[in-house]
Structure 1
Amino acid sequence: HLSRANPHVDRLRPTAGCRVPGLVVFSGAEHYITPTWYPSKQEHGRVVPTWNYIAVHVQGAVTLHDDTGWLESHLSQLTDTHEAAQAHPWAMHDAPRDYLDAQMKGIVGVSVRIEALEGKYKLSQNRSDADIAGVVHGLASRDTPASRVMEDAMRASERRRHERS
């Protein structure tokens, strides 16, 4: 869903029944990669910083939803998903009905009929095994939530690559 005040809402509204194409980008793991993690830096120095990432691009027809029933169902599912790990999960019925209705007037639901999916990733796969190992070690040494996620993604990518070869 989007805030009704978001300028994208006007751009996504169809005119005269026209189909509105859209692109939604879901960003996954991402992390800055310093060239100091590459052993090849010491060998030849031909290295530069980069950014590793995983993303999925979804293309399709966009539909906006102003219907209160659609919004309430969407928000209830979304809330239930994100509140599930809480000791005392909040639920839609915890808030006063008039308050929920007022809040829902400020948003517009969005759905996309998927016509194409494209996964994109850059996980240092263009580097040597030694450089990849250096990046994985460097990410492990950072020990942040983002570095751990990228480290796990790179380890999984390397396992798949070695299984195929």
Structure 2
Amino acid sequence: MTQGTEFIPGLPQVAKTCSKCREAKPEAAFHSHGPGKKRMAMCGDCRAEHRRINGREGRKETAEERLGRRLWECYKITLQQYRAMVKAQSGACAICGKTPDEGKRLAVDHCHTTGVVRALLCIRCNLNLGVYENHHRAAAEYLATYGAGNPLLCPAE
């Protein structure tokens, strides 16, 4: 029986033709990514064979290719532009001046409203800046209220 085929008595079986073996098979023989989603063009048997021969996902993307793709998808900058920014900043965070730990890289700081890329930051500075941008008014109010300590805990004068 075809991998993933579920025959349910009494229900009509919709036939679909596999793009690889060209056999007409029940729709249940084709992988789906969830309810209401289109089914794959290749039947389960052909897909399993394809994945066995070509690896689970086919040709693997190298780490460098993945970085280049992600930089473009997220920030619309190329890998060459990213490397030029790293070189211009001497490989260090634009805020604290520290270089990232071994195996880590600088994060691309950008405006979430306009998408404009600003500079490269270490993970810590990037996260802190994001929190500050989203909560700077509340933080200023907090410091105005509690900057000298909690009024409930301060000795009465």
TM-score by length of 2: 0.19
Q: Which has the higher contact order (CA 8 A, sep 6+)?
A: 1
Structure (1 or 2) with the larger CA radius of gyration: 2
TM-score by length of 1: 0.19
Return the structure number with greater helix share.
1
